[in-house]
Amino acid sequence: MILGLDISTSITGATVLDYSGQVLYCEAWDLRNKRYFPDIFSKVQRFKQVMGNLYQINKYPIDSIFIEQSLMAFRPGFSSAKTILTLAKFNGILSYVCQQDFGVEPQYIGASTARKSCGIKISKGEKAKDVVLQYVLDNESNFVVEYTKHGNPKPGSYDRADSLIIARAGYNLWKEKNSKS
């Protein structure tokens, strides 16, 4: 099975695909509550718990893991340097957890590379998250989004969509690699 992860210290999206490309699992794990997750270590512990449940309860034998690559540079007007460093640290820790728990070395895919692999084009001025979510809604019949009373997607929707695109890009890489074998 293929696991696609969109890692964040606030909400992490996770998608599992089988080797026919069927979505078996697509969820978001909310880590924003400071009472339950006051630090990075409690968030890692929650990740380990959910990943263990994902494997044991649902019997998904994960043997390919694809993770959205962390931001590589500071861009004014976007995330601060502190945020980028925290996210990179969290990404590294969760990558290690995946390798230890599943015995699989994660592969990293940049967000734009993943979108391109799935045929998603972001025009100038468009918000990538909105375009990705609409693409997933248009192309994945079982993907459902709940909306707030103001008409915005509920928290976790974008993260689930992003993890699905990472998983699909990973699936495309897997197919390409195995067609050559």
> What does the alpha-carbon distance between residue 17 and residue 65 come to, in Å, rounded to a whole number?
10
Q: Spell out the domains of the chain, with CATH numbers in brackets.
A: 2-176 (3.30.420.10)
Predicted model pTM:
0.91
CA-nearest of 87, 65, 74, 102 to 8 is 87
> What does the alpha-carbon distance between residue 31 and residue 10 come to, in Å, rounded to a whole number?
5
Tens place of pLDDT for every residue, the chain, 181 residues?
A: 999 999 999 999 999 999 999 999 999 999 999 999 999 999 999 999 988 877 665 567 888 999 999 765 545 555 677 778 888 899 999 999 999 888 889 999 999 999 999 999 999 999 999 999 999 999 999 999 999 999 999 999 999 999 999 999 999 999 988 887 5
CB 74 within 8 A of CB 115: no
DSSP label at 4? E
Count of C-beta atoms within a 10 Å radius of residue 65: 22
